[in-house]
Structure 1
Protein backbone atom coordinates (compact mmCIF):
# COMPACT_ATOMS: atom_id res chain seq x y z
CA UNK A 1 0.00 0.00 0.00
CA UNK A 2 1.39 3.36 -1.07
CA UNK A 3 -0.16 5.61 1.57
CA UNK A 4 1.24 8.89 0.29
CA UNK A 5 0.22 8.33 -3.31
CA UNK A 6 -3.19 7.05 -2.21
CA UNK A 7 -3.71 10.16 -0.08
CA UNK A 8 -2.73 12.49 -2.93
CA UNK A 9 -4.92 10.61 -5.42
CA UNK A 10 -8.00 10.74 -3.18
CA UNK A 11 -7.47 14.44 -2.54
CA UNK A 12 -7.13 15.23 -6.24
CA UNK A 13 -10.28 13.26 -7.14
CA UNK A 14 -12.29 14.84 -4.31
CA UNK A 15 -11.29 18.37 -5.28
CA UNK A 16 -12.40 18.00 -8.90
CA UNK A 17 -16.03 17.15 -7.99
CA UNK A 18 -18.40 20.03 -7.42
CA UNK A 19 -21.24 19.72 -4.92
CA UNK A 20 -23.70 20.11 -7.80
CA UNK A 21 -22.20 17.00 -9.44
CA UNK A 22 -23.51 14.87 -6.57
CA UNK A 23 -26.66 16.80 -5.76
CA UNK A 24 -25.32 18.81 -2.80
CA UNK A 25 -25.86 22.54 -2.22
CA UNK A 26 -22.77 24.64 -2.94
CA UNK A 27 -23.26 27.02 -0.02
CA UNK A 28 -21.84 30.52 0.22
CA UNK A 29 -18.92 29.90 2.58
CA UNK A 30 -17.21 26.98 0.91
CA UNK A 31 -13.44 27.38 1.14
CA UNK A 32 -12.23 24.13 -0.41
CA UNK A 33 -12.42 23.26 -4.11
CA UNK A 34 -14.72 20.36 -4.79
CA UNK A 35 -16.22 18.31 -2.00
CA UNK A 36 -15.43 18.59 1.68
CA UNK A 37 -13.90 15.54 3.34
CA UNK A 38 -17.03 14.89 5.36
CA UNK A 39 -19.12 14.99 2.17
CA UNK A 40 -16.87 12.49 0.41
CA UNK A 41 -16.97 10.25 3.47
CA UNK A 42 -20.75 10.41 3.61
CA UNK A 43 -21.07 9.49 -0.06
CA UNK A 44 -18.67 6.57 0.43
CA UNK A 45 -20.52 5.36 3.56
CA UNK A 46 -17.45 5.58 5.79
CA UNK A 47 -16.63 7.76 8.78
CA UNK A 48 -15.19 11.23 8.29
CA UNK A 49 -12.38 10.32 10.68
CA UNK A 50 -11.31 7.33 8.61
CA UNK A 51 -11.53 9.25 5.34
CA UNK A 52 -9.45 12.06 6.82
CA UNK A 53 -6.80 9.58 7.91
CA UNK A 54 -6.72 8.16 4.37
CA UNK A 55 -6.00 11.62 2.95
CA UNK A 56 -3.37 12.17 5.64
CA UNK A 57 -1.61 8.88 4.77
CA UNK A 58 -2.23 7.56 8.29
CA UNK A 59 -4.97 4.98 7.74
CA UNK A 60 -4.64 1.19 7.56
CA UNK A 61 -5.29 -0.56 4.26
CA UNK A 62 -8.91 -0.05 3.17
CA UNK A 63 -11.06 -3.07 2.45
CA UNK A 64 -12.45 -3.82 -1.01
CA UNK A 65 -15.86 -2.64 0.22
CA UNK A 66 -14.37 0.70 1.26
CA UNK A 67 -12.55 1.01 -2.06
CA UNK A 68 -15.79 0.34 -3.93
CA UNK A 69 -17.50 3.05 -1.89
CA UNK A 70 -14.70 5.51 -2.59
CA UNK A 71 -14.83 4.76 -6.31
CA UNK A 72 -18.58 5.46 -6.39
CA UNK A 73 -18.37 8.57 -4.23
CA UNK A 74 -15.52 10.11 -6.21
CA UNK A 75 -17.03 9.10 -9.55
CA UNK A 76 -13.91 7.32 -10.70
CA UNK A 77 -13.53 6.02 -14.23
CA UNK A 78 -12.67 2.36 -14.76
CA UNK A 79 -8.97 3.24 -15.14
CA UNK A 80 -9.06 5.39 -11.98
CA UNK A 81 -10.80 2.62 -10.08
CA UNK A 82 -8.05 0.18 -11.03
CA UNK A 83 -5.40 2.74 -10.03
CA UNK A 84 -7.08 3.21 -6.66
CA UNK A 85 -6.95 -0.52 -6.01
CA UNK A 86 -3.28 -0.75 -6.95
CA UNK A 87 -2.37 2.16 -4.68
CA UNK A 88 -4.20 0.44 -1.83
CA UNK A 89 -2.35 -2.81 -2.44
CA UNK A 90 -5.51 -4.64 -3.48
CA UNK A 91 -5.36 -5.50 -7.21
CA UNK A 92 -8.76 -4.91 -8.80
CA UNK A 93 -11.07 -7.76 -9.59
CA UNK A 94 -13.62 -7.76 -12.41
CA UNK A 95 -15.88 -4.69 -12.62
CA UNK A 96 -18.77 -4.98 -10.16
CA UNK A 97 -21.28 -3.94 -12.81
CA UNK A 98 -21.65 -2.83 -16.44
CA UNK A 99 -19.69 0.28 -17.34
CA UNK A 100 -21.72 3.42 -18.12
CA UNK A 101 -18.71 5.58 -18.98
CA UNK A 102 -18.55 6.26 -22.72
CA UNK A 103 -15.20 7.18 -24.22
CA UNK A 104 -14.93 10.71 -25.58
CA UNK A 105 -13.92 9.37 -28.98
CA UNK A 106 -17.21 7.45 -29.17
CA UNK A 107 -19.19 10.55 -28.20
CA UNK A 108 -17.35 12.43 -30.94
CA UNK A 109 -18.21 9.65 -33.40
CA UNK A 110 -21.92 10.00 -32.65
CA UNK A 111 -21.78 13.72 -33.38
CA UNK A 112 -19.97 13.09 -36.67
CA UNK A 113 -22.80 10.92 -38.00
CA UNK A 114 -25.47 13.57 -38.69
CA UNK A 115 -27.25 11.44 -41.31
CA UNK A 116 -27.23 8.31 -39.14
CA UNK A 117 -29.19 7.61 -35.98
CA UNK A 118 -26.55 6.34 -33.56
CA UNK A 119 -26.53 5.52 -29.87
CA UNK A 120 -24.58 3.52 -27.29
CA UNK A 121 -26.07 0.87 -25.02
CA UNK A 122 -24.57 -0.73 -21.94
CA UNK A 123 -24.47 -4.47 -21.30
CA UNK A 124 -27.98 -4.19 -19.83
CA UNK A 125 -29.42 -2.25 -22.82
CA UNK A 126 -29.42 1.12 -21.10
CA UNK A 127 -29.06 3.95 -23.63
CA UNK A 128 -26.05 5.86 -22.28
CA UNK A 129 -25.23 8.15 -25.23
CA UNK A 130 -26.98 9.18 -28.43
CA UNK A 131 -27.00 11.74 -31.21
CA UNK A 132 -29.76 14.12 -32.25
CA UNK A 133 -31.07 11.90 -35.04
CA UNK A 134 -31.44 8.88 -32.74
CA UNK A 135 -33.50 11.03 -30.38
CA UNK A 136 -35.65 12.31 -33.26
CA UNK A 137 -36.20 8.83 -34.70
CA UNK A 138 -36.99 7.06 -31.42
CA UNK A 139 -37.43 9.34 -28.42
CA UNK A 140 -35.83 12.33 -26.71
CA UNK A 141 -33.72 10.32 -24.27
CA UNK A 142 -32.59 13.51 -22.53
CA UNK A 143 -36.17 13.96 -21.29
CA UNK A 144 -36.22 10.48 -19.70
CA UNK A 145 -34.88 9.32 -16.39
CA UNK A 146 -31.97 6.88 -16.44
CA UNK A 147 -34.41 4.11 -15.50
CA UNK A 148 -36.66 4.80 -18.48
CA UNK A 149 -33.74 4.74 -20.94
CA UNK A 150 -33.39 0.97 -20.53
CA UNK A 151 -34.61 -0.67 -23.75
CA UNK A 152 -35.22 -4.10 -22.19
CA UNK A 153 -37.49 -2.57 -19.56
CA UNK A 154 -39.16 -0.48 -22.24
CA UNK A 155 -39.76 -3.50 -24.48
CA UNK A 156 -41.38 -5.67 -21.80
CA UNK A 157 -42.93 -3.21 -19.35
CA UNK A 158 -43.77 -0.26 -21.59
CA UNK A 159 -44.99 2.33 -21.96
CA UNK A 160 -46.44 1.38 -25.33
CA UNK A 161 -48.05 4.58 -26.72
CA UNK A 162 -50.97 3.88 -29.07
CA UNK A 163 -50.32 0.16 -28.59
CA UNK A 164 -46.94 0.41 -30.35
CA UNK A 165 -44.14 -1.54 -28.73
CA UNK A 166 -40.68 0.02 -28.61
CA UNK A 167 -41.17 3.10 -30.81
CA UNK A 168 -43.30 1.12 -33.26
CA UNK A 169 -40.32 -0.70 -34.70
CA UNK A 170 -41.10 -3.63 -37.00
CA UNK A 171 -38.93 -6.17 -35.17
CA UNK A 172 -40.05 -5.27 -31.63
CA UNK A 173 -40.93 -8.85 -30.69
CA UNK A 174 -37.65 -10.22 -32.05
CA UNK A 175 -35.76 -7.44 -30.29
CA UNK A 176 -37.43 -8.32 -27.00
CA UNK A 177 -36.41 -11.97 -27.34
CA UNK A 178 -32.81 -11.09 -28.27
CA UNK A 179 -32.54 -8.56 -25.44
CA UNK A 180 -33.77 -11.08 -22.89
CA UNK A 181 -31.12 -13.56 -24.00
CA UNK A 182 -28.42 -10.89 -23.93
CA UNK A 183 -29.48 -9.85 -20.44
CA UNK A 184 -29.09 -13.42 -19.20
CA UNK A 185 -25.51 -13.43 -20.49
CA UNK A 186 -24.87 -10.05 -18.86
CA UNK A 187 -26.24 -11.30 -15.53
CA UNK A 188 -23.70 -14.12 -15.67
CA UNK A 189 -20.87 -11.63 -16.31
CA UNK A 190 -21.95 -9.41 -13.40
CA UNK A 191 -23.32 -11.81 -10.78
CA UNK A 192 -22.68 -9.42 -7.88
CA UNK A 193 -24.20 -6.27 -9.37
CA UNK A 194 -27.39 -5.32 -7.48
CA UNK A 195 -28.72 -3.21 -10.37
CA UNK A 196 -28.58 -6.14 -12.78
CA UNK A 197 -30.25 -8.42 -10.24
CA UNK A 198 -32.96 -5.83 -9.54
CA UNK A 199 -33.64 -5.35 -13.27
CA UNK A 200 -34.02 -9.09 -13.83
CA UNK A 201 -36.31 -9.44 -10.80
CA UNK A 202 -38.48 -6.53 -11.99
CA UNK A 203 -38.81 -8.01 -15.48
CA UNK A 204 -39.54 -11.55 -14.28
CA UNK A 205 -42.18 -10.23 -11.88
CA UNK A 206 -43.74 -7.77 -14.31
CA UNK A 207 -43.78 -9.65 -17.62
CA UNK A 208 -44.93 -13.22 -18.20
CA UNK A 209 -43.29 -13.07 -21.62
CA UNK A 210 -39.92 -12.16 -20.13
CA UNK A 211 -40.29 -14.80 -17.42
CA UNK A 212 -40.88 -17.42 -20.10
CA UNK A 213 -37.87 -16.28 -22.13
CA UNK A 214 -35.71 -16.11 -19.01
CA UNK A 215 -36.63 -19.65 -17.98
CA UNK A 216 -35.49 -20.95 -21.39
CA UNK A 217 -31.84 -20.15 -20.46
CA UNK A 218 -31.02 -19.24 -24.06
CA UNK A 219 -28.06 -16.90 -24.44
CA UNK A 220 -27.40 -16.79 -28.20
CA UNK A 221 -29.43 -14.78 -30.64
CA UNK A 222 -29.25 -13.56 -34.23
CA UNK A 223 -29.20 -9.87 -35.09
CA UNK A 224 -31.87 -8.07 -37.11
CA UNK A 225 -30.03 -6.19 -39.86
CA UNK A 226 -32.99 -4.24 -41.25
CA UNK A 227 -36.04 -2.74 -39.55
CA UNK A 228 -38.76 -0.13 -39.99
CA UNK A 229 -39.70 2.56 -37.47
CA UNK A 230 -43.14 4.17 -37.42
CA UNK A 231 -42.17 7.75 -36.66
CA UNK A 232 -45.04 10.11 -35.70
CA UNK A 233 -43.57 13.01 -37.74
CA UNK A 234 -42.39 11.41 -40.98
CA UNK A 235 -44.11 8.03 -41.04
CA UNK A 236 -42.32 4.73 -41.79
CA UNK A 237 -38.51 4.86 -41.86
CA UNK A 238 -36.67 1.71 -42.97
CA UNK A 239 -33.08 1.49 -41.83
CA UNK A 240 -30.12 -0.83 -41.92
CA UNK A 241 -28.79 -1.74 -38.48
CA UNK A 242 -25.08 -2.10 -37.75
CA UNK A 243 -23.67 -2.82 -34.31
CA UNK A 244 -20.09 -2.10 -33.23
CA UNK A 245 -18.79 -3.79 -30.09
CA UNK A 246 -16.72 -1.81 -27.58
CA UNK A 247 -15.30 -4.87 -25.89
CA UNK A 248 -13.24 -3.18 -23.18
CA UNK A 249 -16.35 -1.38 -21.87
CA UNK A 250 -18.86 -4.15 -22.64
CA UNK A 251 -20.87 -1.62 -24.67
CA UNK A 252 -22.25 -1.44 -28.18
CA UNK A 253 -22.68 1.35 -30.71
CA UNK A 254 -25.88 0.93 -32.73
CA UNK A 255 -26.02 2.77 -36.07
CA UNK A 256 -29.15 3.11 -38.21
CA UNK A 257 -28.73 4.22 -41.84
CA UNK A 258 -31.13 4.37 -44.78
CA UNK A 259 -30.46 3.21 -48.33
CA UNK A 260 -29.07 6.04 -50.49
CA UNK A 261 -31.75 7.77 -52.52
CA UNK A 262 -34.63 6.08 -50.71
CA UNK A 263 -37.68 7.81 -49.17
CA UNK A 264 -36.32 6.72 -45.78
CA UNK A 265 -33.08 8.59 -46.42
CA UNK A 266 -35.13 11.71 -47.13
CA UNK A 267 -37.14 11.09 -43.94
CA UNK A 268 -33.94 10.83 -41.89
CA UNK A 269 -32.67 14.02 -43.50
CA UNK A 270 -35.85 15.80 -42.44
CA UNK A 271 -35.63 14.38 -38.94
CA UNK A 272 -32.01 15.48 -38.67
CA UNK A 273 -33.11 19.08 -39.25
CA UNK A 274 -36.04 18.87 -36.85
CA UNK A 275 -34.00 16.94 -34.32
CA UNK A 276 -31.13 19.40 -34.24
CA UNK A 277 -33.54 22.15 -33.43
CA UNK A 278 -35.37 20.43 -30.62
CA UNK A 279 -33.28 17.59 -29.22
CA UNK A 280 -30.37 17.66 -26.78
CA UNK A 281 -26.92 16.38 -27.71
CA UNK A 282 -25.43 13.28 -26.00
CA UNK A 283 -24.28 13.78 -22.43
Structure 2
Protein backbone atom coordinates (compact mmCIF):
# COMPACT_ATOMS: atom_id res chain seq x y z
CA UNK A 1 0.00 0.00 0.00
CA UNK A 2 1.39 3.37 -0.97
CA UNK A 3 1.40 5.80 1.92
CA UNK A 4 -0.04 9.23 1.18
CA UNK A 5 1.65 12.09 2.99
CA UNK A 6 -0.52 14.78 4.51
CA UNK A 7 -0.16 18.14 2.78
CA UNK A 8 0.96 19.60 6.10
CA UNK A 9 4.17 17.61 5.84
CA UNK A 10 4.90 18.48 2.21
CA UNK A 11 6.90 21.52 1.12
CA UNK A 12 4.54 24.33 0.23
CA UNK A 13 4.24 25.18 -3.44
CA UNK A 14 5.72 28.50 -4.51
CA UNK A 15 3.49 31.28 -3.25
CA UNK A 16 1.46 28.93 -0.99
CA UNK A 17 1.96 29.46 2.74
CA UNK A 18 1.43 26.95 5.54
CA UNK A 19 -1.65 28.88 6.81
CA UNK A 20 -3.13 28.55 3.29
CA UNK A 21 -2.58 24.80 3.38
CA UNK A 22 -4.09 24.53 6.85
CA UNK A 23 -7.19 26.47 5.83
CA UNK A 24 -7.79 24.21 2.84
CA UNK A 25 -7.22 21.09 4.92
CA UNK A 26 -9.63 22.43 7.54
CA UNK A 27 -12.23 23.19 4.86
CA UNK A 28 -11.96 19.71 3.37
CA UNK A 29 -12.09 18.06 6.80
CA UNK A 30 -15.22 19.99 7.85
CA UNK A 31 -16.93 19.17 4.56
CA UNK A 32 -16.13 15.47 4.85
CA UNK A 33 -17.45 15.29 8.42
CA UNK A 34 -20.61 17.24 7.50
CA UNK A 35 -21.42 14.94 4.59
CA UNK A 36 -21.24 11.77 6.67
CA UNK A 37 -23.92 12.80 9.21
CA UNK A 38 -27.62 12.24 8.58
CA UNK A 39 -30.22 14.77 9.77
CA UNK A 40 -31.80 12.13 12.00
CA UNK A 41 -28.55 11.72 13.95
CA UNK A 42 -28.72 15.31 15.17
CA UNK A 43 -32.48 15.51 15.69
CA UNK A 44 -33.41 17.17 12.39
CA UNK A 45 -36.22 16.16 10.04
CA UNK A 46 -35.23 14.92 6.59
CA UNK A 47 -37.14 16.78 3.88
CA UNK A 48 -38.43 15.08 0.75
CA UNK A 49 -36.32 17.21 -1.57
CA UNK A 50 -33.01 16.75 0.24
CA UNK A 51 -30.21 16.10 -2.23
CA UNK A 52 -27.23 17.12 -0.11
CA UNK A 53 -25.28 14.15 1.27
CA UNK A 54 -25.32 14.47 5.02
CA UNK A 55 -26.07 17.85 6.59
CA UNK A 56 -26.46 21.18 4.82
CA UNK A 57 -24.11 24.03 5.70
CA UNK A 58 -26.94 26.03 7.21
CA UNK A 59 -27.82 23.06 9.45
CA UNK A 60 -24.27 22.85 10.78
CA UNK A 61 -24.34 26.60 11.36
CA UNK A 62 -27.64 26.29 13.22
CA UNK A 63 -26.40 23.43 15.40
CA UNK A 64 -23.19 25.32 16.18
CA UNK A 65 -24.91 28.69 16.75
CA UNK A 66 -22.75 30.47 14.15
CA UNK A 67 -23.68 32.44 11.05
CA UNK A 68 -24.36 30.58 7.82
CA UNK A 69 -22.18 32.97 5.81
CA UNK A 70 -19.35 32.64 8.32
CA UNK A 71 -19.49 28.81 8.23
CA UNK A 72 -19.64 28.86 4.42
CA UNK A 73 -16.49 30.98 4.35
CA UNK A 74 -14.84 28.44 6.64
CA UNK A 75 -15.59 25.62 4.18
CA UNK A 76 -14.32 27.87 1.38
CA UNK A 77 -10.95 28.16 3.15
CA UNK A 78 -11.23 31.92 3.54
CA UNK A 79 -8.84 33.72 5.86
CA UNK A 80 -11.07 34.21 8.90
CA UNK A 81 -10.45 33.89 12.63
CA UNK A 82 -11.89 30.89 14.45
CA UNK A 83 -12.09 30.88 18.25
CA UNK A 84 -11.62 27.71 20.34
CA UNK A 85 -15.20 28.10 21.56
CA UNK A 86 -16.54 27.99 17.99
CA UNK A 87 -14.34 25.00 17.17
CA UNK A 88 -15.72 23.26 20.26
CA UNK A 89 -19.27 23.94 19.05
CA UNK A 90 -18.43 22.61 15.57
CA UNK A 91 -16.83 19.47 17.02
CA UNK A 92 -19.99 18.74 19.01
CA UNK A 93 -22.33 19.49 16.11
CA UNK A 94 -20.35 17.20 13.78
CA UNK A 95 -20.18 14.40 16.38
CA UNK A 96 -16.38 14.23 16.25
CA UNK A 97 -14.62 11.63 18.36
CA UNK A 98 -11.51 12.52 20.39
CA UNK A 99 -9.01 12.04 17.59
CA UNK A 100 -11.14 13.87 15.03
CA UNK A 101 -11.61 16.71 17.51
CA UNK A 102 -7.85 16.87 18.09
CA UNK A 103 -7.30 16.96 14.31
CA UNK A 104 -9.79 19.83 13.97
CA UNK A 105 -7.99 21.97 16.55
CA UNK A 106 -4.61 21.08 15.05
CA UNK A 107 -5.70 22.22 11.59
CA UNK A 108 -7.04 25.46 13.06
CA UNK A 109 -3.78 25.97 15.03
CA UNK A 110 -5.85 26.40 18.19
CA UNK A 111 -5.65 25.02 21.73
CA UNK A 112 -8.51 22.70 22.64
CA UNK A 113 -10.22 23.96 25.83
CA UNK A 114 -11.54 20.47 26.60
CA UNK A 115 -9.13 17.91 25.10
CA UNK A 116 -10.61 14.96 27.00
CA UNK A 117 -14.12 15.42 25.61
CA UNK A 118 -15.84 12.12 24.93
CA UNK A 119 -17.32 11.18 21.59
CA UNK A 120 -20.87 12.63 21.41
CA UNK A 121 -22.12 9.27 20.14
CA UNK A 122 -21.49 7.77 23.61
CA UNK A 123 -24.52 9.25 25.31
CA UNK A 124 -25.81 8.38 28.80
CA UNK A 125 -28.63 6.44 27.10
CA UNK A 126 -26.11 4.38 25.13
CA UNK A 127 -24.15 3.62 28.31
CA UNK A 128 -27.40 2.49 29.92
CA UNK A 129 -28.11 0.22 26.97
CA UNK A 130 -24.62 -1.30 27.22
CA UNK A 131 -25.24 -2.10 30.89
CA UNK A 132 -28.68 -3.58 30.16
CA UNK A 133 -27.23 -5.89 27.51
CA UNK A 134 -25.29 -7.75 30.20
CA UNK A 135 -24.37 -10.55 30.46
CA UNK A 136 -23.89 -10.20 26.68
CA UNK A 137 -20.50 -8.46 26.21
CA UNK A 138 -20.75 -5.26 24.20
CA UNK A 139 -18.67 -2.19 23.44
CA UNK A 140 -18.63 0.91 21.25
CA UNK A 141 -15.70 1.20 18.84
CA UNK A 142 -14.83 3.81 16.24
CA UNK A 143 -13.49 2.94 12.80
CA UNK A 144 -9.92 3.05 14.17
CA UNK A 145 -10.88 0.35 16.72
CA UNK A 146 -10.55 2.57 19.77
CA UNK A 147 -12.83 1.20 22.51
CA UNK A 148 -14.94 4.24 23.41
CA UNK A 149 -17.22 2.53 25.94
CA UNK A 150 -17.98 -0.99 27.15
CA UNK A 151 -20.07 -2.94 29.62
CA UNK A 152 -18.71 -5.01 32.48
CA UNK A 153 -18.69 -8.40 30.78
CA UNK A 154 -16.85 -6.98 27.77
CA UNK A 155 -14.36 -5.49 30.21
CA UNK A 156 -13.38 -9.05 31.20
CA UNK A 157 -14.03 -10.84 27.92
CA UNK A 158 -10.47 -10.91 26.51
CA UNK A 159 -8.47 -9.13 29.18
CA UNK A 160 -9.04 -6.90 32.19
CA UNK A 161 -9.65 -3.58 30.42
CA UNK A 162 -9.56 -1.71 33.72
CA UNK A 163 -5.86 -2.58 33.89
CA UNK A 164 -5.25 -1.05 30.45
CA UNK A 165 -4.51 2.66 30.16
CA UNK A 166 -7.37 4.52 28.39
CA UNK A 167 -5.06 5.62 25.55
CA UNK A 168 -4.15 1.96 24.92
CA UNK A 169 -7.73 0.65 24.75
CA UNK A 170 -7.54 -0.02 21.06
CA UNK A 171 -8.33 -3.39 19.51
CA UNK A 172 -5.31 -3.33 17.20
CA UNK A 173 -2.90 -2.52 20.04
CA UNK A 174 -4.44 -5.11 22.35
CA UNK A 175 -4.32 -7.81 19.67
CA UNK A 176 -0.62 -7.24 19.03
CA UNK A 177 0.80 -6.20 22.42
CA UNK A 178 -1.42 -7.45 25.27
CA UNK A 179 -0.54 -11.03 26.22
CA UNK A 180 -3.77 -11.63 28.15
CA UNK A 181 -5.83 -10.56 25.14
CA UNK A 182 -3.74 -12.71 22.80
CA UNK A 183 -4.09 -15.70 25.11
CA UNK A 184 -7.87 -15.42 25.03
CA UNK A 185 -8.27 -16.04 21.29
CA UNK A 186 -8.07 -19.53 19.86
CA UNK A 187 -5.94 -18.78 16.80
CA UNK A 188 -3.93 -15.63 17.42
CA UNK A 189 -2.14 -15.65 14.05
CA UNK A 190 -5.38 -15.96 12.08
CA UNK A 191 -7.16 -13.32 14.17
CA UNK A 192 -4.38 -10.73 13.91
CA UNK A 193 -4.13 -11.28 10.15
CA UNK A 194 -7.90 -10.80 9.83
CA UNK A 195 -8.13 -7.62 11.90
CA UNK A 196 -5.08 -6.16 10.17
CA UNK A 197 -6.89 -6.64 6.85
CA UNK A 198 -9.95 -4.89 8.33
CA UNK A 199 -7.78 -2.06 9.64
CA UNK A 200 -6.16 -1.56 6.21
CA UNK A 201 -9.59 -1.38 4.56
CA UNK A 202 -10.77 1.19 7.11
CA UNK A 203 -7.61 3.29 6.84
CA UNK A 204 -8.10 3.89 3.12
CA UNK A 205 -10.39 6.81 3.99
CA UNK A 206 -8.06 8.25 6.65
CA UNK A 207 -4.56 8.10 5.15
CA UNK A 208 -3.70 11.72 5.90
CA UNK A 209 -5.17 11.89 9.42
CA UNK A 210 -2.57 12.20 12.21
CA UNK A 211 -4.32 9.88 14.67
CA UNK A 212 -4.39 7.04 12.13
CA UNK A 213 -0.76 7.57 11.14
CA UNK A 214 0.27 7.67 14.80
CA UNK A 215 -1.50 4.37 15.49
CA UNK A 216 0.05 2.78 12.41
CA UNK A 217 3.48 3.94 13.60
CA UNK A 218 2.92 2.48 17.07
CA UNK A 219 1.87 -0.87 15.62
CA UNK A 220 4.82 -1.05 13.24
CA UNK A 221 7.24 -0.22 16.06
CA UNK A 222 5.70 -2.66 18.55
CA UNK A 223 4.96 -5.79 16.53
CA UNK A 224 6.86 -7.74 13.89
CA UNK A 225 3.70 -9.80 13.41
CA UNK A 226 1.79 -6.65 12.48
CA UNK A 227 4.52 -5.55 10.06
CA UNK A 228 4.38 -8.91 8.33
CA UNK A 229 0.58 -8.88 8.03
CA UNK A 230 0.54 -5.23 6.93
CA UNK A 231 2.93 -6.06 4.11
CA UNK A 232 0.39 -8.56 2.72
CA UNK A 233 -1.89 -5.68 1.61
CA UNK A 234 -4.97 -7.77 2.39
CA UNK A 235 -8.36 -6.12 2.96
CA UNK A 236 -11.65 -7.47 4.28
CA UNK A 237 -15.03 -5.90 5.02
CA UNK A 238 -17.13 -5.99 8.18
CA UNK A 239 -19.81 -8.59 8.94
CA UNK A 240 -21.20 -10.98 11.52
CA UNK A 241 -18.87 -13.78 12.49
CA UNK A 242 -18.60 -16.68 14.91
CA UNK A 243 -15.85 -16.62 17.51
CA UNK A 244 -14.51 -18.85 20.27
CA UNK A 245 -12.69 -17.26 23.21
CA UNK A 246 -10.73 -18.86 26.01
CA UNK A 247 -11.82 -16.61 28.86
CA UNK A 248 -9.40 -16.50 31.80
CA UNK A 249 -12.22 -16.53 34.39
CA UNK A 250 -14.97 -18.84 33.08
CA UNK A 251 -13.49 -20.90 30.25
CA UNK A 252 -14.56 -21.38 26.62
CA UNK A 253 -17.11 -18.96 25.18
CA UNK A 254 -18.79 -19.49 21.81
CA UNK A 255 -20.28 -16.24 20.55
CA UNK A 256 -21.57 -14.48 17.45
CA UNK A 257 -20.09 -11.01 16.93
CA UNK A 258 -22.35 -8.40 15.35
CA UNK A 259 -21.69 -4.76 14.42
CA UNK A 260 -24.52 -2.26 14.77
CA UNK A 261 -23.58 1.08 13.22
CA UNK A 262 -24.50 4.19 15.18
CA UNK A 263 -24.28 6.29 12.03
CA UNK A 264 -22.52 6.08 8.67
CA UNK A 265 -20.09 3.19 8.29
CA UNK A 266 -17.14 5.51 8.89
CA UNK A 267 -18.42 6.32 12.37
CA UNK A 268 -18.74 4.47 15.68
CA UNK A 269 -20.47 1.11 15.99
CA UNK A 270 -21.81 -1.05 18.79
CA UNK A 271 -20.20 -4.49 18.81
CA UNK A 272 -21.99 -7.25 20.70
CA UNK A 273 -21.06 -10.88 21.36
CA UNK A 274 -24.23 -12.96 21.65
CA UNK A 275 -23.86 -16.51 23.08
CA UNK A 276 -24.27 -19.31 20.55
CA UNK A 277 -25.38 -21.90 23.11
CA UNK A 278 -26.83 -22.22 26.60
CA UNK A 279 -23.51 -23.17 28.17
CA UNK A 280 -21.90 -19.97 26.91
CA UNK A 281 -24.81 -17.90 28.26
CA UNK A 282 -24.42 -19.50 31.68
CA UNK A 283 -20.67 -18.79 31.65
CA UNK A 284 -21.26 -15.17 30.64
CA UNK A 285 -23.76 -14.84 33.48
CA UNK A 286 -21.12 -16.25 35.83
CA UNK A 287 -18.60 -13.75 34.47
CA UNK A 288 -21.08 -10.95 35.14
CA UNK A 289 -21.45 -12.10 38.73
CA UNK A 290 -17.67 -12.28 39.17
CA UNK A 291 -17.33 -8.69 37.98
CA UNK A 292 -20.13 -7.56 40.30
CA UNK A 293 -18.45 -9.29 43.23
CA UNK A 294 -15.09 -7.66 42.42
CA UNK A 295 -16.77 -4.24 42.45
CA UNK A 296 -17.72 -5.00 46.00
Same fold per superposition (TM over 0.5): yes
The whole-number CA distance in structure 2 between the counterparts of 1:129 and 1:192 is 26
- 1: CA distance, partners of 2:202 / 2:191: 16
Q: Which residue pairs with 2:257 in the alignment?
A: 241
**Cα gap change, 1:64/1:147 in structure 2, threshold over 3 Å: closer, same or farther?**
farther
For residues 182-197 of structure 1, the aligned pairs below 5 Å read 182-197=198-213
CA distance in 1, matches of 2:225, 2:198: 15
Q: TM-score normalized by structure 2?
A: 0.57
Which residue is 2:269 aligned to? 252
Pairwise CA distance, 1:269: 1.0
Distance 1:239 1:71 in 2: 44
Gap runs ≥5 in structure 2: 1-72, 97-117
CA contact (8 A) 1:119 1:130 kept: yes
**Cα distance in 1 for residues equivalent to 2:90 and 2:295:** 27
Q: CA deviation at 1:142?
A: 3.6
- Relative to 1, partners in 2 of residues 1:66 and 1:189: Cα closer, same or farther, differing over 3 Å? farther
After the TM superposition, which of the residue ranges 266-275 and 135-144 deviates more from structure 2?
Answer: 135-144
Runs (5+) with no aligned partner, structure 1: 1-60, 82-98
Match among 94, 115, 121 for residue 79 of structure 1 = 94
Q: How do 1:128-139 and structure 2 match up within 5 A? A: 128-139=148-159
Q: 2:227 aligns with which of 211, 228, 249?
A: 211
Specify the SS of the correspondent of 1:228. Answer: strand
Aligned to 2:14: none
* 1:114 matches 2:131: no
Cα distance change on mapping 1:103 and 1:212 into 2, 3 Å = same
**Alignment partners' CA distance in 1, 2:83 and 2:224:** 35
2:236 to 212, 220, 227: 220
- Per the normalisation by structure 1, the TM-score is 0.59
Shift of 1:222: 6.6
Q: Offset of 1:137 from its aligned partner?
A: 2.2
Q: Is 2:295 the counterpart of 1:275?
A: no
Cα offset for 1:159? Answer: 2.5
The alpha-carbon deviation at position 102 of structure 1 amounts to: 2.7
Describe the superposition over 1:65-123 as per-residue Cα deviations: whole angstroms up to 9, x where unpaired: 97596577679424377xxxxxxxxxxxxxxxxx9443424323212212211111111
CA contact (8 A) 2:161 2:169 kept: yes
Q: Measure the CA separation in 1 of the matches of 2:166 and 2:79.
A: 27
| Residue of structure 1 in register with 2:110 after alignment | none
Q: Is the 8 A contact 2:138 2:153 kept in 1?
A: yes
Select between 140-149 and 191-200 the one with higher mean Cα deviation: 140-149
CA distance in 1, matches of 2:140, 2:183: 17
